[in-house]
Copies of this chain bind each other. A is one copy, B any other.
Amino acid sequence: MSADTDQPTDTGRPTVCILGCGLIGASWAALMLHHGHRVQAWDPVEAARASFAARLAAPLAQLNRLSPRSGDPLALLSVHYSVAAAVADAALIQENAPESIPTKRALYAEVEAAALPDAIIASSTSALRWSDLPPGLTDPSRLITAHPFNPPHLVPLVELYGIEDAVLDQADAMYRGCGQVPVRLRKDATGHIANRLASALWREAVNIVAEGIADVQAMDAALVNGPGLRWSVLGAHMAYHLGGGAGGMAGYLAHLGPSQERRWASLGSPSLTPEVCAALVAGIEVEAAGRTIPQLETQRDEALIAALLARRETPHV
């Protein structure tokens, strides 16, 4: 099956292969197509392949609001039965397979047999570390983790880790060319940076509900109208640099470091017991107030688009 009846060959941008046509694959594909890359997609499931082009309509329309483009980006899309056909001629192979080490390793063996020798294999893995993935590859240096943040086409962050700087530089340039903000890890780490931060914050957010300090809706309202808003313009380290008065970070650490350590010691270590889970589920129903998940996603995306347009005029710190 192929949707490439009218595929241009002169975009001048490298071809990208998308392995896995789920939510993350669709978001990556829309982003790459919008920025003029030919995209060759593969999924083992026929229904996923058949519906893939249709799934791209919404993210492509959103991207077009952020940076209007002419022409039909779907003309650059092809969807393939075989991994070998999908990876052919691709400079970047973005893998979005299930979070299973054997599944990914088996897929990489197929990829390596058919791909260009210098093609980059980039895994979107969220849960696994880079070091879980390369065994079986002849050339592990071509493999990187490139973890996006949901929804990838509207959140600029891509977290990169690999062992070969030249490969990372090349991937960095391709993501940056699509408007993303790649961030380099110096060390292979479970959860990269962003999910470690999200997990650390959510642990205390769950604790706040479990301890009865605030309900789910109040907790979320505090975040969105307080630290979340500020972290959208200013990093956490930078916030403490500005919280230290004229002495900056050094002054903050000297004066308030000990109280920050006491605060850390007082944070909670909740467990997701049935009672806590029930409180979270009941609380989120109050907060959702009848809005379905697709409705909430639409609201999220609209608000993200507005925030992205605002920061384009007035950059974050």
A residues lining the B interface (CB < 8 Å): 127, 149-150, 155-157, 159, 181, 183-187, 189-205, 207-209, 211-216, 218-243, 246, 248-250, 253, 257-261, 263-264, 266-267, 269, 271-272, 277, 280-281, 283-284, 287-288, 293, 296-297, 299-300, 302-311, 313-317
User: Helix, strand, loop or mixed for chain A's interface?
Assistant: helix
Also in contact, A248 and B201, with CB within 8 A (given A183-B214, A185-B214, A212-B186): no
For this complex, 6 residue pairs linking A to B, each with C-beta atoms less than 8 Å apart, are: A190-B263, A196-B263, A201-B236, A219-B235, A219-B236, A233-B300
A225 adjacent to B157 (CB under 8 Å)? yes
Q: How far is the CA of A261 from the CA of B296 in the complex (A)?
A: 26
With A197-B204, A197-B208 given, name 11 new contacts (CB 8 A): A185-B218, A187-B213, A191-B263, A196-B204, A200-B204, A205-B237, A216-B237, A219-B236, A238-B288, A261-B272, A307-B307
Q: Which residue of B lies closest to A264 (CB)?
A: B203
A226 adjacent to B263 (CB under 8 Å)? no
B253 adjacent to A261 (CB under 8 Å)? no
Partner of A205 from the list B156, B213, B236 (CB cut-off 8 Å) is: B236
Q: Smallest distance from the beta carbon of A265 to chain B beta carbons, Å?
A: 9
Q: How far is the CA of A315 from the CA of B186 in the complex (A)?
A: 37
Q: How far is the CA of A22 from the CA of B222 in the complex (A)?
A: 24
Contact residues in B for A203 (Cβ distance below 8 Å): 200, 264, 267
Partner of A157 from the list B209, B226, B233, B234 (CB cut-off 8 Å) is: B226
Q: How far is the CA of A238 from the CA of B291 in the complex (A)?
A: 12
Contact residues in B for A213 (Cβ distance below 8 Å): 185-187, 189, 193, 196
Contact residues in B for A233 (Cβ distance below 8 Å): 224, 228, 300, 303-304, 307
Also in contact, A229 and B307, with CB within 8 A (given A219-B237, A284-B249): yes
Q: How far is the CA of A231 from the CA of B230 in the complex (A)?
A: 9
Partner of A230 from the list B155, B211, B257 (CB cut-off 8 Å) is: B155
Contact residues in B for A215 (Cβ distance below 8 Å): 186
Central interface residue in A193, A212, A216, by most chain B CB within 10 Å: A193
Central interface residue in A257, A272, A307, by most chain B CB within 10 Å: A307
B238 adjacent to A183 (CB under 8 Å)? no
Contact residues in B for A237 (Cβ distance below 8 Å): 202, 205, 209, 216, 219-220, 280, 283-284, 287
Contact residues in B for A187 (Cβ distance below 8 Å): 211-214
B310 adjacent to A306 (CB under 8 Å)? yes
Partner of A223 from the list B194, B205, B211 (CB cut-off 8 Å) is: B194
A306 adjacent to B311 (CB under 8 Å)? yes
Q: How far is the CA of A219 from the CA of B220 in the complex (A)?
A: 23
Q: How far is the CA of A243 from the CA of B150 in the complex (A)?
A: 8
B225 adjacent to A228 (CB under 8 Å)? no
Contact residues in B for A214 (Cβ distance below 8 Å): 183-187, 193
Q: How far is the CA of A236 from the CA of B228 in the complex (A)?
A: 9
Q: How far is the CA of A281 from the CA of B195 in the complex (A)?
A: 24
